Amino acid sequence: MADTAVREAPTSARNNNSVHPVDELLPMRKNLTLGIQHLFIMYAGAVAVPLIVGPAVGLNTGQTALLIAADLLVSGVCTIIQAAGISWVFGVRLPVVAGATFTVLSPMITIATQFGTKGNPAAGLPVVYGALLVSGVFGVLIAKPFSMILRFFPPLVTGTVIAVIGLSLIGADVSLIAGIDATAASYGFVSHIGLAALVVLMIVLVSRLTRGFLSQIAVLLAILIGVLVAWPMGLDHFSTVLHANWFGSPKIFHFGGPQFRASAIISMCIVILVTYTESTADMLAVAEIVGKDLSPDEIARGLRTDGLSAFLASFTNSFPDTAYAENVGIVSMTGVKSRWVVVTCGIFLVILGLIPKVSDAIANIPGPVIGGAATVMFAMVTAIGIRTLANVNFENNHNLLIVAVSLSVGLIPSVAPNFYHRFPANFQVIFGSSITSTVIVVFLLNLFFNHWKAWPPKNTALRVALGYGAVAGVTDEDLAAHGVTAATAATTGESEAPAPGIATAPRPQTSS
């Protein structure tokens, strides 16, 4: 009854000439205020990706500023599309903010390093963006099929991958704090490490001592405090901001025309799949908060927009986007469900992406400041993965083994970057990234242990009855005796059906 009432509510609302809160257009002042609030919450995470990739592949401050501008522009465009929608093709039409995904960090750096020249990994960026172009098209094409096979990406798979994403990025934030070359005289200055520690401390204090909106932007506030403290230390170098233009357009294929390598393309396509699982979880969370049921078609529209972001990123020198979990929390906290608020946030992002002075200022933020903030953000990603794994049943199954093997294989490139140096180059590109190697291993192991049945259990009358949902009087011993355990059901999320060749009567029809 309750379920029926929920589904009938929108019809009743339309009959009363009212609109769903998701489609409500708020007064201008409130719309602008809440849109800026969404912008502040996602901003630190969005700019962290180009700030880490740029130095990691040897880009200077000006080139990193180009990445930031393109990142903000693409993020704004895709945020607008997600919230407003384009026909039946793009946009989930929910208050979902799109931002650069951390999933792409490790694969991008790995590909650039592998295909770049010695001492100049930026020479490999055309291969990175060629792979993004193809993976974007791939993402658009598989969005609909993917929305219908989510059962192959349970919390066991997604939780393991998300945990590894955070763990594999620890090295990136450390290099921002201490430096890249451990033999350099400037490596590991105590003052730099102390500044990063101050940023971490500020995040903790702001999160603990404030509530609501201020708590939500703890990372952004900590970065601002870190920049102020870095000024008397001589670490702020914002002189180039004065010479930057007030308006600029994205530099199409700034690092050269796209180049296509099979291994890089495979790696980026795997990134798209990981991004899709992340976005799906966030879209479902938002849908639950705003009181809307998402159909596979609506999920596919949202995922297709993520694929579009990768395609746009390929020629604007940007990054693929995902739905930002940070902004899911603000929808729940404020109770404001209007998607037009998020459209406003997207417009602000587009404007910022077209102002080079903004991206130049961000690119000049001292490394220890960004490194300190990134330390917390990356660890938070790992914590989210652990929280996801808490929903997995580890009793009377092989799930613990799956996680163990996936982590052991996936973290090899992080702890020993040259581990596969004697393997073929294409192998190194795919398995030289902790994220892509973890996805491959955990996905295949989950199929092997939880979906593939080498020896189907013998059919019995009780087993057939269980396949049709019979539960009355069934004990755990009965289930175990007939190969239908509670653990198996919890793992696969599927009810056991009669095996082929068993004659069964049709289900009785119930009258409403």
pLDDT reading at 426 higher than 70: yes
| Mean per-residue pLDDT of the chain | 79
Task: Decide which of 181 and 71 is more confident.
Answer: 71
Quickly tell me which residue has 């919890």 as its tokens.
490
Q: What angle do CA 245, 249, 250 make, to 5 degrees?
A: 120
10 Å Cβ neighbour count for 459? 16
Reported as half-sphere exposure (CB side, CA atoms, 13 A), residue 102 has a value of 28
Cβ neighbourhood burial of 395 (10 Å; 0-12, 13-18, 19+): exposed
Q: What is the mean pLDDT of residues 140-159?
A: 87
Which pLDDT band holds residue 374 (cuts at 50, 70, 90)?
confident
Tell me which range, 37-51, 236-250, 385-399, 445-459, is most confidently predicted by mean pLDDT.
385-399
- The answer, yes or no, to whether residue 10 has pLDDT greater than 50, is no
pLDDT surpassing 70 at residue 254: yes
Which amino acid would we find at residue 473?
G
For 352-366, what is the mean pLDDT? 79
- 432 vs 83, which has greater pLDDT? 83
Average pLDDT over residues 384-411: 90
Is the predicted pLDDT of residue 511 greater than 50, yes or no? Answer: no
Indicate if the pLDDT at residue 492 is higher than 50. Answer: no
pLDDT at 500 over 70: no
Rounded mean pLDDT, 469-483: 56
Task: Look up residue 295 and give its DSSP letter.
Answer: P
**Direct distance between the N- and C-terminal alpha carbons of the chain, in angstroms, rounded to an integer:** 11
Q: Which residue has the higher pLDDT, 464 or 240?
A: 240
Digit-coded pLDDT (tens) for 195-229: 889 988 988 898 888 877 677 677 778 888 888 88
pLDDT in tens, 432-455: 888 888 888 999 999 999 888 765
Two tokens at 259?
């180049």
**Span of 50-64, 139-153, 179-193 with lowest mean pLDDT:** 179-193
Chain centroid to CA 94: how far?
Answer: 17
Residue 261 pLDDT grade (very low, low, confident, very high; cuts 50, 70, 90): very high
Whether residue 509 is predicted with pLDDT greater than 50 in this model: the reply is no
Joined together, the tokens standing for residue 358 give 């903004």
Question: What was the pLDDT predicted at 302?
Answer: 93
In which element (H, E) is residue 320 found? none
Segment (H or E) for 15? helix 2-15
Residue 469 DSSP class: T
- Better-predicted residue by pLDDT, 252 or 150: 252
Task: Tell me: pLDDT of 289 over 70.
Answer: yes
Query: From the CB of residue 457, how many other CB atoms can be counted at a distance below 10 Å?
Result: 13
pLDDT of 420: 86
Identify which has the larger pLDDT, 483 or 186: 186
pLDDT band at 346 (very low <50, low <70, confident <90, very high): very high
Q: What is the pLDDT of residue 477?
A: 59
